[in-house]
Structure formats: structure tokens, C-alpha cells
Amino acid sequence: MWHLTMQDKKAYENAMRLFIYESDEEWTDYLAYAKENDIDPYKEKKQELDVIRDSLMNYLPLRFHTYILDSTLNTPDVPKHVREDFLGWRNEQEQLFENILDAAYEEKQKTLVYMKPKEREVFEQSLHDATIVSIQRNATQVELTFDMAGGFTAKSIISLTFNKILSEVGQVEPEQFYIYDELRKTANGMALRVIFDCPEVEWTIEAAELDAEFYYRPKTYSDFAENGNFSTYVQTLQLEHGLIFITPQLKKRVIGIQQHAPFLVLENSNLYENDRGVFVDTICVADKLDDCIHFLHTDTYEDPYAHFSEPVPIQDLEEAALGTDLELKVRAWNTMYANPVQLAEKINHILMKMNPAQEDDMMRNVFIRHFYNEGILTTELQAKFKDILAE
């Protein structure tokens, strides 16, 4: 039996839809604000309730219906015991849904031990907010490809392939968002339930086998993503990292990079541009080459911020740490952060020259405290930064 259901998700969301100030003090502040800004508080609260009245009548317990119908539930006129009852009930619904998500998470954790390393890695991380890019299916197999741009992973593209499908309930479509999931080991293979959004659907699939593939953005992607220039971008890429060209219509390996248009050589395919757009064979994949920047991915993860961890030579630390070159400055402070004891004398010298009022919160709250906790700050510096250390 599944822990996660669309019904529970909707019940939770509807319980949380109506905003109510929780204390008399908050109501007093709101009424004062409304008066000061010439707002009719009762009209505003009635409008808020009217928008969701029908759903509240369907999901809230009967004891609150009178106060929904007379439009007082979200006003200061509702009896205090009713307001407290409603807030208590809402907190219970929130806790119930959190318990459901916790149970689904525990079920997934138990299932991970049965999975192959690549598939386990995908589900150990979150697929939350992934967007379906494409759906490929036949009688026994379905492959979902997700764009992870809005997700919580360094991966840029993830494909899940369900082989030897045993059952499938619910309809998925491109552009839906992956919200919640529950993964189960079954007697016949693996089962996955996902709550998708836009549009909402509860999708459940069981298959004998589950395979996963994933890719990353090339390290230089962020330098070109907004401003384009495909021709320059591809010259920064490295074939040995395993480049792949993925669009909603197709997935092709890159086997060569050229100095001239269309710049890429694809496996068993041709990429070309004409006055009608950019094509792979006969399939139009974009209006112009610059749009294809977003279609390139790599098998190898390259940290785009790795250069910030490159140490600055000791003789250059002071100039870099107190200078205006942001990248050098970050590298210098990271160098000192990583080597506080070895660089104690240099750090104290730099801190004596630094004006704390001109530094940002990160500098004050992270670096200074870190050096203090490492026990390298002189008595004079502790006095200089006493306000920071006292926070």
C-alpha cells in the first residue's frame, strides 16, 4: 500500500490555503496597517476567502462551515476558540502530510539497496522540480527524460527507462514538474509513484527493470547560456568528456567539433542550419544555432567554480585579499580559510589592514569567526572585531 497519494497532497494544500493571523497582536497590527493605507480589511479578507470558498467547503471539517459561509473565519470577528481550533486542525494536517512524506522517504531508502549504482545515485538525490522534456514509449518500455535546471542536483539531464512494464496508472506529458515520489521494491521488480504538477497527476508505474542515465552541463555553459554565441561555446568543449546532444526529439552523441558551421559532427547524423532553422537530418531542433547551446551535455562533471579554490601564492595574498578583483579576492580568502594555522601571521597582518565596515556579511560572519575558532586571532584583532565575534 502506498503512503503517498494525490488525495493526501490535495488535503494538505487545501488545509494551508486560507491565511489567518494567529494572535490578537497580529490582528491589531494588520488592522492598524489597513487603516493607515486606507484598506477595507473585511472586504479584503472576504475576497481572499471567496476565491477558495468551494474548496474549503469540500476539505474543511463541518464545524468550520458556518464561519466559511458567513465570511468570518479569516477575520478578527471569528470567536477566539474557533480560530484556535482551526489553527490546531491545520497544524495537524501539516504534520500528517509531513509524516506521509517521511514514510515515503523511508520506503525509498529501503528500496535503494536493491538498485544498481547509477539508478541509486539518481534517487539518493532529489528529482523535485525536474521537468519532463520528452516521453518515449513502446508496448513494454517507457523512457522519461527530465531537465534538471530547476532541480537540486548538479546533473542537467536525467533519463529513467522502465523496461518490461507490468502496470502503469496515470497519464504523464512533457512540461510537467516532478514534485513528490515514493519508490518501492516489489516481488517482480521496482515500482515508482510520482505526484506531478502542471497539470496535477498521480502516476504509478511498476516494471521488471529500471535504468537511469544522467549528464551534466559543460563547465563553460554558464558563460554562454544567456548571451549565446554557439560557435565560440563549442570550441571550449572537450570531446574526451563525452559530449551528447539532447533535444526533446532526439539524443545523439557528438563525435567531432569543427571550426566552421554547423560546428558539430553527430553520430550517424548531420547537424546543419538553413533559412528555416537548425536541423538534425530532417528534424528541426531550433530556430538558430545559438539556441542549441542548451542541448549540449557531458558525461563528466566539471565544477564550474573549481577555479575559486585554486590557492593564491603567499606573496600575493595581501594584494588579492584587499584588492578589487573579485575572483582573486575570493581565491585569496578561500586560501586563508583552508590554511589558517600555516598562514596565521599573514592572516593577522591582512586583518589589521581590513576595515570591517567595508566588508560584507559573509566576510564578517564566516571568515572572522572561522579564524577566531581556529585560535589564530591576536588579542588586538579580537578587540577590533569584538562586535562581530559577539553576534
Calpha distance 161→184 (Å, rounded): 16
- Given a cut of 50, the residues of the chain with pLDDT beneath it are none
For residue 362, what pLDDT is reported? Answer: 61
Radius of gyration of the chain from its Cα atoms, rounded to whole angstroms? 28
Distance CA 200, CA 179 (A): 10
Residue whose C-alpha cell reads 539556441 in the numeric block: 291
Q: Which of 208, 220, 213, 133 is nearest to 168 (CA)?
A: 208
Q: Give the N- to C-terminal CA distance of the chain in Å, as an integer.
A: 50
DSSP 59-86: HS-GGGHHHHHTT-TTSTTS-HHHHHHH
Would residue 312 be called left, alpha or beta, if left means φ above 0 and alpha means ψ between -120 and 50 degrees? Answer: beta
Mean pLDDT over the full length of the chain: 91
pLDDT of residue 361: 59
pLDDT of the residue at 330: 86
Give the model's pLDDT for residue 83.
94
pLDDT digits (tens, 9 = 90+) for 318-350: 898 888 888 888 888 889 999 999 999 999 999
Q: What is the pLDDT of residue 345?
A: 92
pLDDT at 327: 84
Predicted pLDDT at 323 = 86
Domain boundaries of the chain, sorted by first residue: 6-108, 117-214, 221-298, 309-390
Give the contacts of 374 (CB within 8 A, at least 6 positions apart).
340, 341
Confidence (pTM) = 0.77
Q: What is the model's pLDDT at position 151?
A: 79
The C-alpha atoms of residue 4 and residue 325 are separated, in whole angstroms, by: 50
CA distance 74 to 72: 6
Which pLDDT value is given to residue 267?
93
Q: Which three cell numbers stand for residue 338?
A: 583552508
> According to the model, what pLDDT value does residue 309 have?
77
pLDDT of residue 357: 60
